[in-house]
Amino acid sequence: MYTKNFLEDFTNFDYVMKMLKSNRLFNHNCHQISLKEGNSLQFDFQTSKLYLIQEGYTKIASQYEEHLVFLSFSKRGEFPLLLGRNDLSTDAFQVTALTDCILWEIDRDYLNEILITEDPRNFVLLNYHIKISRNSVMQLVMNTFSSEERLNYILLFISDKFGVRNADGTIDLPSFITYAKLGELASVSLSHASNIVKSLQAQDIISIKKKNWVLKKPNQIPVSIPYSFNQWI
């Protein structure tokens, strides 16, 4: 088994780019694209392109009947979608930019070849599927929660994965956080999300000034089942 830090050494953005550039056909199979905040990319298991995030944040959702079901977030150095097989189903996926993003668009067959030759122990795939499996656990846990607890969990998770920790113990939340976004991710209405956050503000747990969200007392956000987000990949 591997530690989180060990896997990160072999799956971070710089290391993956080094692997991709090791082949002389890199320039023919990889190039940068921009994805503006709110814009989306569509995928399925047969897609010919995959994407590596250089800058920004994305979320991925699965198309289920007429609904999009949130699956996970991704940030710099991560693949929003990375599958070890292409024959599992005909599911459709949507990757949406939470902020303005710069992505590397990579030919799927080229990436497969690079991973086989440069990553024989499958660290990149392992890292991705650990993230997805842990996200699935969180989703199952959240399904047992009240709407308020779901929103609190999302706040804690986003602060741990994307937040900037300050010397005084406060955490600056990422720029994409809004009442509407929290409500969407926690599956609660906009008005209810606003009321929950305002309650946290009244307790001086969170501060919002000019769209800058600061988690002042993360340990005081009420959750019934503590979860170790720092174990997430």
- pLDDT per position as a tens digit, 61-105: 887 777 677 778 899 999 998 876 666 555 788 899 998 999 999
Q: Calculate mean pLDDT across residues 186-204.
A: 92
What pLDDT does residue 232 have? 45
**CA of residue 188 relative to chain centroid, distance:** 20
CATH number at residue 64: 2.60.120.10
**What does pTM read for this prediction?**
0.81
Q: Calculate mean pLDDT across residues 106-119.
A: 94
232 within a domain of the structure (yes/no): no
Question: 139, 171, 202 — which closes off a domain?
Answer: 139
Q: Are residues 51 and 77 in the same domain?
A: yes
Q: Are residues 76 and 131 in the same domain?
A: yes
Q: Are residues 170 and 90 in the same domain?
A: no
Residues in a beta bridge with 42: 94
196 within a domain of the structure (yes/no): yes
Per-residue pLDDT of 146-179, as tens digits, reads: 889 889 988 988 888 888 999 999 999 998 899 9
Q: Could you tell me where the beta strands, DSSP code E, fall in the chain?
A: 30-35, 40-44, 49-55, 58-64, 67-74, 92-97, 101-107, 164-165, 171-172, 206-209, 212-215
For residue 221, give Cα distances in angstroms to 118, 149, 156, 206, 225: 43, 9, 8, 9, 12
Q: Are residues 183 and 105 in the same domain?
A: no
Question: 115, 139, 163 — which closes off a domain?
Answer: 139
User: Could you give the number of structural domains in the chain?
Assistant: 2
- Domain span holding position 27: 4-139
Query: How crowded is the C-beta side of 106, counted as CA atoms within 13 Å?
Result: 28
* Confidence bin at 229 (pLDDT 50/70/90): low
Q: Work out the mean pLDDT of the chain and round it to a whole number.
A: 86
233 within a domain of the structure (yes/no): no
